[in-house]
A and B are shown apart, each in its own frame.
Chain A
Amino acid sequence: AQSVAQPEDQVNVAEGNPLTVKCTYSVSGNPYLFWYVQYPNRGLQFLLKYITGDNLVKGSYGFEAEFNKSQTSFHLKKPSALVSDSALYFCAVRIFGNEKLTFGTGTRLTIIP
């Protein structure tokens, strides 16, 4: 079985401050981890992924995420938040050999001007 937890339903950050959106996972095997973003009235868009190699992965719009195997976490980060980053963020996991991608419940990020 595979699962993802996003412990925060809502995260508020002041514009210009660093932001973190948390994600932990549970899988049997090596995980493939993904972050997706959903802007209002738009479809989900792929942000970044971790497959193997460097634990710090960089993605679109200045976002990055750090894979931590010992803590089974894959937190999304950005050094300086923009108001336009306000959206719903989803973490997702799958394992090699299984195409099923399991999503977390999402975290609503609000950047306060």
Chain B
Amino acid sequence: GAGVSQSPSNKVTEKGKDVELRCDPISGHTALYWYRQSLGQGLEFLIYFQGNSAPDKSGLPSDRFSAERTGGSVSTLTIQRTQQEDSAVYLCASSLGSQAKSSPLHFGNGTRLTVT
């Protein structure tokens, strides 16, 4: 497809379970970002990748959160032992990154995570 694809679109899980969220960026985009949007809140930066490496992981809320990117393409955000405060919309975005100075981010439609 032409845009950033995220799956699943919705995920309901029980507290304490692990979840994996997937992001498929636009082909050729070397930079990939994860953000979190909670109800009534702005966008909280989690992590970004340039290629397969993550120069900035400063936004990951705790060691329960991890992310990886393989082949310079698909990325997975994993949340272990989910807590109710993890409930949010997780947004993925991609851009041309360092290939093109100041290229805008293209966002997916997000994964709405609900922890019960």
Contact = CB atoms under 8 A, between A and B. Distances in A.
A100 to B, nearest CB: 5
Given A44-B107, A49-B104, A99-B95, 16 more contacts: A6-B42, A36-B105, A43-B108, A43-B110, A44-B43, A44-B93, A44-B105, A46-B105, A46-B106, A51-B101, A90-B43, A99-B31, A99-B55, A103-B43, A103-B45, A105-B42
Contacts of A100: 45, 48, 56
B42 A106 contact: yes
Contacts of B4: 43
Nearest to A44: B107
B105 A32 contact: no
A82 B24 CA distance: 34
Interface residues of B, number: 26
Contacts of B84: none
Question: Which size class do A's interface residues fall under?
Answer: 20 to 34
Contacts of B107: 36, 43-45
A96 B101 CA distance: 8
A49 B102 CA distance: 8
Contacts of B90: none
B45 to A, nearest CB: 6
Contact of B98 (A42, A44, A90, A99): A99
